[in-house]
Amino acid sequence: MKRKLTAAIGIAGMMVSIAACGGGGSGSQGDAKELTVWLTVDAQNNWPDLVKAADAAVVAKHPGLKIHHEYYGWPDKNTKLDAVLATDQVPDVVEMGNTEMLGYMVKGAFAPVDPATFDRSAAWLDGLKASVTYDGKTYGVPYYAGGRVANWRKDVFGSAGVKTPPTTYPELTAALDKVQKKRGDSFSAWYQPTRDWYAAMSFVYDAGGAIAKEQGGRWKGTLSSPQSLKGLGEFKKVVDSYMHGDKTKDESDRYLVYGQGKSGMIFGAAWEGATSADPKNDKTGTLKDNLENFVMPGPSGKNMPVFLGGSDLAIPVKSPRQAVAAEWINALTGPAGQKALIAKGNLPNNRTDLATLKNDPATAVPAIAAESNWFVPMAPGWGQVEKAQVLQTMLQSIGTGKKSVAAAAKEADAAIDKVINTK
């Protein structure tokens, strides 16, 4: 999963504390001579000093240990990983997007780890913990997270008489109604791409629904449950009332569309607003210092639960150096590492560090929003559900009016049920 990050301060001279970690496997901590770590270019470009600090902490405990790093872009990483996993030349640590973990855990590609040996694991954010857990075992360590927030144009809403961000859903819809009435149908008060299943499922989980649930040892689609239908109905109201763009689009270019100035609000990844205001994307010339993030309120009366994207670190099951690999992961993701990652614009992997961000106006919104979160069903065939774009198809049918909410949800459940239990 590609991420856009905001650089902040340096990390030179960082000291990283590590706990004794046992990752299992055939290698022992005493005989490891080298360690191979695969990370994405995010680490290489944005926090190389953190990587060096983790190296130094582990080498200090294992003099003579050579640590080799390879960096990959998100589009080609898994192709390369799949190729080496079929051999004995596997990396000892590999970074994974948290939505990528499940397929590899199902196939037995990663070694189980003991979460108790990693700092602050008891406080891992629920959505991140879910991403490294399969069949009751833990197969990785959350690295960092990226949340979702609402972002609005202060000038647009101010011109409609709304001066402060809404804190309840009725306040939000009342503000959107004012903007929509003032601007007319050529303007999207809320630009909400129809196929954006991350946003749609936030409505579902806010209403007490779910994509699928495990029942008697098997997973079953639950989008047509009363709770899920209520959430999907609320999502449709948004698309019908405030989204006047192409209702067959997904969220991939939302930040570009927002930058064109034909919408007043979005609900997406925390980086999207700032990226829209970048001079190369801002076609209005007015977005800088005019955009503001706020915590998305939900129709339930609580903050909208958000999908947490992010990265995890895993140890291939074929690694002969699993114990030292676990030490290195803890050196990177422990308290000092989380502090450094926060300084680079990321959310931490745990509630303890997240709480420290809530009192800082610069980080309070994404931190508060991330407290309520959800993750995809950790079912063996979930990858096939995603590959088939079942949710996107359902949402497009709902958004374009091709099918009713109930009919589209029933069809989606049937499609989910066909593959979700298949390894």
**Alpha-carbon span 17 to 239, nearest angstrom:** 49
> Residue 258: helix, strand or coil by DSSP?
helix
Residue closest to 306 by CA, chosen among 146, 120, 141? 146
- Mean of all residue pLDDT scores within the chain: 92
Greater confidence (296 vs 216) lies with: 296
Four-residue CA torsion sign, 98, 43, 280, 265 = positive
What's the pLDDT score for residue 422? 95
Residue showing tokens 């859903």: 169
First to last CA, the chain: 22
180-207 pLDDT per residue, tens:
999 999 999 999 999 999 999 999 999 9
22-41 pLDDT per residue, tens:
333 333 444 679 999 999 99
Answer for the pair 134, 383: CB distance below 8 angstroms, yes or no: no
> Is 90 exceeded by the pLDDT of residue 167?
yes
**Alpha-carbon span 281 to 398, nearest angstrom:** 30
Give mean pLDDT, residues 91-97. Answer: 97
For 4, 9, 17, 208, 393, the CA distances from 270, given in Å and listed in that order, are: 9, 19, 30, 24, 25
> Is 90 exceeded by the pLDDT of residue 9?
no
> Is 80 exceeded by the pLDDT of residue 3?
no
Q: Which domains does the chain have, with CATH numbers?
A: 34-146+309-371 (3.40.190.10), 148-306+377-419 (3.40.190.10)
What's the pLDDT score for residue 337? 96
**Alpha-carbon span 296 to 173, nearest angstrom:** 12
What's the pLDDT score for residue 175? 98
Give mean pLDDT, residues 258-284. Answer: 97
pTM of the model: 0.89
What's the pLDDT score for residue 31? 67
Give mean pLDDT, residues 210-219. Answer: 95
Answer for the pair 159, 143: CB distance below 8 angstroms, yes or no: no
> Is 80 exceeded by the pLDDT of residue 256?
yes
304-319 pLDDT per residue, tens:
999 999 999 999 999 9
For the chain, give the percent of residues with pLDDT over 90: 90
